[in-house]
Amino acid sequence: MQKLNHKNIWLLGRTLIVVSIIIAVKLAVHVFGVEFLSINVLFSGIVAGNVFLMGFLLSGVMSDYKESEKIPGEIAASLSIIYTECITLFDHKKDEGAQKGMVLVLSLAEDIQHWFYRKVRTKDLLIRIRSLNNVFYEMEKSSHPPFIVRLKNEMSNLNRIIIRADVIRDTSFTSSGYLIAGSVTFLLCTGLVLSKIEPFYESLFFVGVISFLMIFLLLMIDDLDNPFGYNEKYSTEDVSLYSIERVIIEIRESNSERNIQ
């Protein structure tokens, strides 16, 4: 079971802050005696409908999120394959193109890591990926065509994955869905605050629980919608970049062993 980190706690804290404000308003409304709504089956239907809408949004963002979890591993695999081919050619034939490739793959891996934090533009990163073609051209002298074909296939795969990740992080899932879910949640919380529920302490409990559920779900769905929000201060549910970080460390150690800078 994954432990809570400080960002998860911040998501919970933001929800509790909003819920606390709602409960405080409920207390004020009760003190001034302006609770003029009554709870009926229609209100329960609105709650159920909003939960259903939240479920629809959650299932939509989760499909992209599950796909996004695979992206860092696929990037790391492509980088590792390209580097392995370069190092094999360098170790056996001391090819200069392979040596340049080993340096370039390390630089490219670091650029990809920085790109996830939005420190490198997508346009510049794609240009760096395409620059592998120049290295592959030099390596043709000491290798066979199938060898270069494998490298170019991995380069194309890397290019495709980066574009897919860029689309996921810059595209919001059904903005109109967020609008209606947010509007209904606001109206539900307003209705709970203005409703008369006896005894009063029970009304505080139900107002707190229902508003907590709605608001937490809304914030969590919004956070899941961008699984690559590493540069966002309050983004909590980001996919792990451990596989890319591990490949960078391995390439650095390998280049260091061969005195390649």
Give 195's strand partners. Answer: 37
Is pLDDT above 70 for 167?
yes
Structure tokens at 139: 């390596």
Give 13's contacts (C-beta < 8 A, 6+ positions apart): none
- C-alpha distances in Å from residue 164, one per residue of 3, 68, 111, 159, 225: 29, 9, 17, 9, 14
pTM score = 0.83
CA 194/CA 236 separation, integer angstroms: 33
Question: What per-residue confidence (pLDDT) applies to 1?
Answer: 42
Task: For residue 161, name the pLDDT band (cuts at 50, 70, 90).
Answer: very high
